[in-house]
Structure 1
Amino acid sequence: MATKSSSFYARIDPDIKLQAENILSGLGISTSCAIDIFFRQIVLHKGLPFEVKFPYEKPIIVSSLTPEELNTEIQKGYEDILAGRTKMIDEAITDMQKDFQL
């Protein structure tokens, strides 16, 4: 195995860094080890080892749905309610605002 002798400097949002370090610590992985793993995955995949996209589906345009598609979407919503996968409106708005803060 090659000796690790290269280093780099990166500017990272302090809050994101702290959150990531806390997660890595819980996994028993150092930041340096995580960066090494990430770089190795970049080499193996010949690019980023994950998709870079928003973590949600494209919003549904109700007027473009067929009656069958609309019924399917309504059924999904009903099943979410029955399964308790709901949020109060204030919480949903707060979560959406967090998703768009960079």
Structure 2
Amino acid sequence: MPTAPTQIRIDIDTKKAANELFSELGMDMSEAVNIFLRQCIMRGGLPFSVSVPEYSHDLLEAAQEAKRITRDPSITGYDDMDSLKKALER
């Protein structure tokens, strides 16, 4: 069957992770995309459901706080459990 070259734009990190996964599965990006497209055609749509996840208000607030903490240089971090335990005991 003749093939047609196709270009798509993919985030660099996504492409790298996908290539690593496909390599473990014994295929390359082109083969994986072809499988995806064939599944779309067979099913008459995407081969998985697409929806916006609904997260609880508490979870979203916790995620925002975690993001703030990771970016705040005044928050002390710990490299191992022993350091954390010593700080908690103070």
Q: Which one has the largest radius of gyration?
A: 2
The one of 53, 56, 63 equivalent to 1:59 is 56
**Per-residue deviation at 1:57?**
4.6
> What's the C-alpha RMSD, in Å, of the aligned pairs?
2.6
Cα distance in structure 2, aligned partners of 1:19 and 1:42: 22
- Structure 1 spans left out of the alignment, 5+ residues: 62-88, 95-102
Residue of structure 1 aligned with 2:33, choices 35, 41, 47: 35
Q: Deviations over 1:1-56 (max 9, x none)?
A: xx1321211111111000000010011111111011000001011111111124x5
User: What is the TM-score with the length of structure 1 in the denominator?
Assistant: 0.51
Q: TM-score, structure 2 length as denominator?
A: 0.58
Aligned identity (percent) is 33
State the Cα deviation string for residues 66-89 of structure 1 (Å, max 9, x = none). Answer: xxxxxxxxxxxxxxxxxxxxxxx7
Residue from 18, 21, 31 that aligns with 2:19:
21
The residue aligned with 2:8 is 10
**In 2, Cα distance between equivalents of 1:4 and 1:24:** 23
Distance 1:25 1:9 in 2: 20
4+ residue runs over 6 A deviation = none
Match of 1:85 in 2: none
Residue in structure 2 matched with residue 93 of structure 1 by the alignment: 66
Instruction: Specify which structure has the bigger relative contact order, considering alpha-carbon pairs within 8 angstroms and separated by 6 or more residues.
Output: 2
